Amino acid sequence: RAAEEQILRTDGLVKKFGQFVATDRIDLTVERGEFRSIIGPNGAGKTTLFNLVTGALPVTEGEIYFDGEEITGLSPSERVRRGMGRSFQISNVFGGLTVRENVRLAAQSIGRDEYNALEALFKPTDRYDGMNERTDAVLERIGLADVAEEQADALAYGDKRRLEIGVVLATDPDLVLFDEPTAGMSAEETQETIDLIEDVLVDQTLLLIEHDIELVMELSDRITVLNRGEILAEGTPEEIAANEDVQDAYLGG
Ligand code: ADP
């Protein structure tokens, strides 16, 4: 199998906090085109693994490969430049800018073209025809073309979620990472987010960290279950639902 078919691979990934082993030799492979979820009980190591993959935390041992190249020591922004898109939730949207400005700024500043964020802000827009096209395409895709000139702060809740995804898509990512996208949401907002992910991100490669089993059962191609820093099981939603070790880990706490 060609290296490029594996968009992400971790090889023996260990993270220790002092003596405590938060992730213990995690070998994770994500194939291009799949929707992979990582679930597990509280304290399983999900957030730690997410932070290792995005570069927010340095690894203790092991390697991370992205699109066939080792990225273990690279900064988070260099990973973004290489095509690792990460949902930063509300914080990646500038409330005072319009919807279009938010998407275009993301396309200009953290896209893989060599644009500088500050320069992009102050250069006249007609210098960036390609950027404007990409911006329009993203606005269409997230269904916000009609409200493109509205200020982000003025958007309804669901549209703000759309814009957050638009900001990630504007960077043209090969892999999109989500950390608990429905955390703190009502049942209605959760369903809206599920619909949005299914609708807008259908042909993206996705890695979702989530504690809500219902959500991942509905969305995932494959699920990796972490428990106490180790991979407990991996498989389709059906296989995971039928796995007794998984049931024990969740019920046994
Ligand atoms: P999850 O996201 O699956 O709930 P985490 O990755 O947040 O799990 O945490 C895994 C374990 O590592 C937990 O026992 C947690 O207390 C511990 N841990 C996480 N971050 C730190 C840290 N910065 N310092 C010490 N221990 C940590």
| pLDDT per residue as tens digits for the range 78-100 | 898 899 987 755 467 899 999 99
Q: Is the CB of 47 under 6 A from ligand 1?
A: yes
Tell me the per-residue pLDDT of 141-174, one tens digit each, with 9 for 90 and over. 999 999 999 999 999 988 988 898 898 888 889 9
Q: Residue 39 has what pLDDT?
A: 94
Q: Ligand 1: which of 13, 19, 42, 48 to mutate, most ligand atoms within 8 Å of CB?
A: 48
Q: Is the CB of 40 under 6 A from ligand 1?
A: yes
Q: How many helices (H) and strands (E) does the chain have?
A: 10, 10
Q: Residue 3 has what pLDDT?
A: 45
pLDDT tens string, the chain, 253 residues long: the values are 444 699 999 999 999 999 999 999 999 999 999 999 999 988 999 999 999 999 999 999 999 999 999 999 999 888 988 999 877 554 678 999 999 999 998 888 654 444 455 555 555 554 556 788 889 999 999 999 999 999 999 999 889 888 988 988 888 899 999 888 888 888 888 888 888 888 888 889 999 998 888 788 888 999 999 999 999 999 999 999 999 999 888 766 5
The CA–CA distances, whole Å, from 215 to 3, 71, 129, 180 equal: 30, 30, 39, 10
User: 237, 217 in Cβ contact below 8 A?
Assistant: yes
Q: Which amino acid is at 172?
A: D
Q: Which residue's C-alpha comes closest to atom 17 of ligand 1? A: 22
State the ipTM, two decimals.
Answer: 0.97
Contacts of 253 (CB under 8 A, 6+ apart): 41
Buried b (16+ CB within 10 A) or exposed e, 191-216: ebbbebbeebbeebbbbbbbbbbebb
Q: Is the CB of 43 under 6 A from ligand 1?
A: yes
Q: Ligand 1: which of 13, 16, 17, 60 to mutate, most ligand atoms within 8 Å of CB?
A: 17
Q: Using the mean position of ligand 1's atoms as its centre, give its distance from the Cα of residue 45 in Å.
A: 6
The residue extents of the domains of the chain are 1-83+174-253, 94-173
- Domain 1-83+174-253, CATH number (from 3.50.50.60, 3.40.50.300, 3.30.470.10, 3.60.15.10): 3.40.50.300
| Closest residue by Cα to residue 226 from 75, 102, 30, 46 | 46
> For 209, phi and psi rounded to 5 degrees?
-100, 125
User: 175, 8 in Cβ contact below 8 A?
Assistant: yes
Q: Which residue's C-alpha comes closest to atom 15 of ligand 1? A: 43
The 6-17 sheet, strands edge to edge? 20-31, 6-17, 61-66, 69-70
Contacts of 182 (CB under 8 A, 6+ apart): 189, 190, 193, 194, 210, 212, 215
Q: Which residue's C-alpha comes closest to atom 5 of ligand 1? A: 45
3-state secondary structure of 154: helix
Q: Using the mean position of ligand 1's atoms as its centre, give its distance from the Cα of residue 221 in Å.
A: 26
Q: Is the CB of 48 under 6 A from ligand 1?
A: yes
